[in-house]
Amino acid sequence: MYKGLIIPENYMPLMDVKQTEIAIKTVKDLFQQHLASELRLRRITAPLFVVKGTGINDDLNGTERAVNFPIKHMNDTKAEIVHSLAKWKRMMLADLDIPLGFGIYTDMNAIRADEDLDNLHSIYVDQWDWERHIAEEQRNINFLKYIVTKIFEAMKRTEYAIYEIFPYLKPVLPEEIKFIHTEELLKLYPDLTPQEREDEIVKKYGAIFLIGIGGQLENGKKHDGRAPDYDDWTTPTTENYKGLNGDLIVWNHTLNRSFELSSMGIRVDKNTLIKQLELENCIERTNLYWHKRLLNNEMPLSIGGGIGQSRLCMFYLKKAHIGEVQASIWDNEMIEKCKNANIPLL
């Protein structure tokens, strides 16, 4: 049933549940400070749900169902639990009048009911969602790499600080992050699946930023899906490759596989919004509240993304399952398998 469930051989947690809870708070406190400092971000409060039909919620790959409920006091108007705050944050840049070169971040909590559960995936999602106001001339691949490098530096500093507090959690991140485009990766490993390609390249370099997620590759397939109305995955970059977005992926030594920590990108402008909506056959979204605001020049150009809180804790604390660092719901089969493998689910 759980083809994706990985049971590391002779796994033994490096800390008990009480120590783990202390370490989780330590990781979260340290990393958000480093992230905010590197990117000049101000923390703001985020919603758990938004009104359905406004276009504000993250559509992910376009197939996942949002959990929704009626609001009694508003004539049963439907609200949706957020998938993420990818589009909401950009609206907040405008509403809070955040200056050029500065941004916001928030603690995002979401429910993704259609998620396939395994070591990395839970129906409960917690991440730092961030967004930064940028200029027109910064909508390019070099600026994307500049921001990614800053985020990676924050990750390395946090990893070392955790090591200072818990000396048995030895740092494993490489000194530098490797940048590679999905088209380049396809040429390197044409006979492998996207996941297998990621495993091969990340095992080699330790940490990569994989550019160009969402558009079709030369083989006519996508490396992975991405909603058409926040990240820009159609703008040409170097060597005629396309995409101003990507995923930050590291090598997980506990699970012996690639491990995505962040998804991010330069956001669509008016032209790329229309282009990508047409490519995905959902041009009708231009009638939604959020999309109208963007097309009416009511939102700034921006770059943004999400960084998994539980994923980051899992990586630093060398845990085998995301359920060791967050409280979620798992079925009896997974609970039993994890129990037999010394994997204590919270």
Residues noted as catalytic: 58, 112, 127, 247, 260, 263
Contact 106, 129 (CB under 8 A): yes
Measured distance between the N- and C-terminal CA atoms of the chain, rounded to whole angstroms: 22
Q: Please, where are the H alpha helices in 170-269? A: 182-188, 194-205
74, with CB counted inside 10 A (0-12, 13-18, 19+), is: exposed
Q: Contact at 8 Å (CB) between 132 and 41?
A: yes
**Cα–Cα dist 84/78, whole Å:** 18
Confirm if 207 and 177 have CB atoms less than 8 A apart. yes
Ordered alpha helix ranges (H), 234-341: 270-279, 289-295, 309-316, 332-340
CA dihedral 173, 9, 307, 170 (to 10 degrees): -30
